[in-house]
Structure 1
Amino acid sequence: MSVSKKMSEIDIFQKLKSGNIKAFEQIYHKYWPKLFDQAHRRLADDEIVKEFIQDLFTELWQNRETIKIHTSISSYLHQALKFKIYNYYKSQQVQERYKQFIDTQRPPHLTNNITEERINYIDLHQALKHSIEKLPNQTKLAYKLKQEGGLTYSEIAATLKISTSTVEKHIMKALKLIREELKHFIWLLFILF
């Protein structure tokens, strides 16, 4: 990347951080097609892809004051989208495991009644998302990089510019807080994980 291009990205990002809607629109129009192509190669569903990208840009705008970009806007957006896709697949796997469990555990006379189980899963999924969002910022970021991004502790340490032991502390703190938040779902968590 040339120095002038890097400076231009830094300028645009600084304007975004200060709430400049034109800078946001410039980022949106520049990266939306590239992000769409990236996601569409991994997911065939255009609507889900569009929803992910819309969420990504919504989060960029809402969190613009606290976001730290260490490489480039492009790298940040592509990595964030990768996390969303990974999380989507992980969620699909959990849903499938839960469905398989319910199918094997359900008494024959309840075969056609799975509404309650689906509601329980949706409640659990929402509670988990909510508990993750309540984590302190650095702890939440470390947790997401580990769980959604699949990064190792040393990779997270390098990304966040902190020590590996600090990453371990953040992950342990996140797990403790999430367990506390989801304690009334413990029976369901035991089944799923």
Structure 2
Amino acid sequence: MKESIANATDSELFQLIKVGNLQAFEQVYDRYFIRLLNFSYKRMGNREDALEVVQDVFVRLYTHRERITHTTYLHAYLQTLLKNGIIDSYRRKLVQEKQYMAIRELMEGQGITNTSITIDSKKLEEQIHQLVNQLPEKCKEAFLLSRVQYLSHQAIAAKMKISVSTVEKHIVKALHTLKKELGIVGLVIYWGIDVLR
């Protein structure tokens, strides 16, 4: 069986993946992982970021396997997923950079110094942990996977076996709760502490 899978065409492997064949999935992973990683690394220039995007491609391939229409050109499909993933990664970084700039401007405008942040950060962090622990279990899990483990919404959806839209709802709910209790300035300061140290 292993030998026949190793010699299978992309089209045959794809059909096996669609019905949940893990050996076929592993074969596709072995066949294309390095190629995709090299492609991603050349465009992103950072091995860690490149690896994260490629891993997300395979997560999406497997979790969405039943909804993907039949394709003979599996490599082309993976390349499309990868290019979209790279674009999404750049967009996220751009948003983060804008957020960091906004945090700096907010703190400079309010005369907040690094010393005062260091003094208050421990108390603020404790308050955050208490609030997060009071969230509903699924909401808490999605939020921590996003903000602590820095997983993408797609990766969280796959890990929790829920839809991406449900992940987004959980995270929005968590942020709304924190914002309500801490205020927007407290929340922004908390996420900006590591940036300013």
**Residue 69 of structure 2 aligns with which residue?**
68
CA RMSD, 1 decimal: 3.9
> Quick check: 2:13–2:24 contact (8 Å CA) kept in 1?
yes
Q: Give structure 1 stretches of 5+ with no counterpart.
A: 1-6, 137-176
Q: Does 1:10 align with 2:8?
A: no
In 1, the alpha carbon distance for the partners of 2:56 and 2:18 equals 18
What percentage of residue pairs aligned between the two structures are identical?
26
Name which one, 1 or 2, has greater alpha-carbon Rg.
2
In 2, the alpha carbon distance for the partners of 1:77 and 1:55 equals 11
**Residue 37 of structure 2 aligns with which residue?**
36
Q: 1:109 aligns with which of 105, 108, 112?
A: 112
Structure-to-structure mapping, 1:1-193, within 5 angstroms: 8-70=9-71, 72-106=73-107, 107-112=110-115, 113=117, 126=146, 129=153, 133-135=163-165, 184=176
TM-score (norm 2): 0.54
In 1, the alpha carbon distance for the partners of 2:22 and 2:101 equals 47
> Quick check: 1:69–1:76 contact (8 Å CA) kept in 2?
no
**Residue 174 of structure 1 aligns with which residue?**
none
TM-score (norm 1): 0.55
In 1, the alpha carbon distance for the partners of 2:70 and 2:51 equals 23
One-letter amino acid of the structure 2 residue matched with residue 100 of structure 1: M
Per-residue CA deviations over 1:102-160 (Å, capped at 9, x if unaligned) read 111212234452967xx8xxx6x9499479x4449xxxxxxxxxxxxxxxxxxxxxxxx
Q: How far is the alpha carbon of 1:61 from its aligned partner? A: 2.1
Q: Give structure 2 stretches of 5+ with no counterpart.
A: 1-7, 129-142, 158-162, 189-197
Q: How many residues align?
A: 139
> Quick check: 2:40–2:82 contact (8 Å CA) kept in 1?
yes
